[in-house]
Amino acid sequence: MTGRNYVLITGASSGLGREFAIKCAQRGMNVLLFALPGGNTQSLAHELRLAFGVDAQAIELDMTDSAELISTVNTIAERYPIQFLINNAGVGGTSSILQTSWERIDNIIQLNVRSTTLITRILIPHLMKHAQSYIMNISSMAAFSPIAYKTVYPASKAFISSFSLSLREELAGTGVSVSVVYPGPIMTNSYTARRIIAQGLKGKMGLLPTSSIAAIALAGTLGRQPTIVPGFMNKLNHLLMALLPGTWRLKIISRAVKKEISFSVTA
């Protein structure tokens, strides 16, 4: 990545996205930080400019508003040379389907699936202007199996996985490298922390600090790796789960996930 160019990070105000923002700025990359309005994105951008001498811009919008998203991304792409796109913003949750409002389901699909696909499509011609450029899409270990009580979330992450691998193949030879990351559990906020603790030992398997996951994902993406599963335990877990028949895997994971329901976000 050269000094003039930018990395666009979605969901950059907290959790994994915030770590990507800090790590990219540490590497001297200029950053465009997408997050909802009213958070701390402006102050994060200010801190990054001061600490690392890079340009950092906060772009506050609701990415589930497709019209606003399309217009904003088109404008930003004309103004800033974007060489690296990190599609990190995503939401999930654990609750029975009847306790999950249709608004929440729509929000998961709009953010995880629709906004990621639209941003990527709009930015591909801009990424292609560079000899080498990168797309990192954040999926999840949840993409590897259907999961009861999560239903829409693993489906959305399986979409991200399939979309990324298809795109990688299609863009081979263009200089645009597409990587997909499958993180295990991350204690990014108090809700996910309580959810992970509720699962006991199983939930903590593969648990890595957010900054380590961000470092592994960045190194892998800039190294043009197609798929990245951060951490030895997550790799082992994935391997062992793949040996089980799909129906067993679904039952085992769903039984474990059911314990999280009391921490569900259903609104």
Ligand X SMILES: NC(=O)c1ccc[n+]([C@@H]2O[C@H](COP(=O)([O-])OP(=O)(O)OC[C@H]3O[C@@H](n4cnc5c(N)ncnc54)[C@H](OP(=O)(O)O)[C@@H]3O)[C@@H](O)[C@H]2O)c1
Near ligand X by CB under 6 A: residue from 138, 208, 217, 218: 138
The contacts found for 184-190 with CB under 8 angstroms, 24 or more apart, are 184/141, 184/208, 184/229, 184/230, 184/231, 184/233, 184/234, 184/237, 186/15, 186/16, 186/210, 186/213, 188/14, 188/15, 188/16, 189/14, 189/15
CB of 211 to ligand X, least distance (A): 12
| 32 burial via Cβ count (<10 Å: 0-12, 13-18, 19+) | buried
- Tell me which residues in 63-92 interact with ligand X (CB under 6 A): 63-64, 88-92
Residue type, 94: T
Chain residues 98-117 in contact with ligand X, contact rule CB under 6 A: 111
The reply to whether 119 sits near ligand X by the rule CB under 6 A is no
Q: How far is CA 117 from CA 123, 137, 200, 203, 251, in A?
A: 10, 10, 35, 30, 30
Retrieve residue 224's tokens.
Answer: 């043009």
Q: Which residue among 14, 42, 117, 132 contacts ligand X (CB under 6 A)? A: 14
Size, binding site for ligand X by CB under 6 A: 28
Site string for ligand X, 187-206 (x = CB under 6 A): -xx--x--------------
**143 is a site residue for ligand X (CB under 6 A):** no
- Using DSSP, state whether 172 is helix, strand or coil: coil
Q: Is 181 helix (H, G, I), strand (E, B) or coil?
A: strand
**Exactly one of 1, 15, 180, 229 binds ligand X (CB under 6 A); which one?**
15
In single-letter form, the type of residue at position 83 comes to Q
Write down the least CB distance from residue 156 to ligand X, Å.
8
| Cα 89 to Cα 102: distance, rounded to the nearest angstrom | 20
**231 lines the binding site for ligand X (CB under 6 A):** no
Under the criterion CB under 6 A, does residue 257 sit at the interface with ligand X? Answer: no
Binders of ligand X among residues 154 to 183 (CB under 6 A) are 183
Only segment of 13-21, 126-134, 198-206, 227-235 that touches ligand X (CB under 6 A): 13-21
Q: Output the smallest distance, CB 113 to ligand X, in A.
A: 11
Neighbours of 105 (CB within 10 A): 15
**Which two tokens mark 52?**
């690392």
| Exposed/middle/buried for residue 185 (C-beta within 10 Å: 0-12, 13-18, 19+) | buried
User: Minimal distance in Å, beta carbon 119 to ligand X?
Assistant: 11
80 catalytically annotated: no
39 binds ligand X (CB under 6 A): yes
Query: Which residue, among 125, 137, 115, has the nearest Cα to 20 in the 3D structure?
Result: 137
Q: Which is nearer to ligand X, 91 or 244 (CB)?
A: 91
The one catalytic residue among 80, 153, 182, 191: 153
Residues classed as catalytic? 153
Residues near ligand X (CB under 6 A): 11-17, 34-36, 39, 62-64, 88-92, 111, 138, 140, 183, 185-186, 188-189, 192
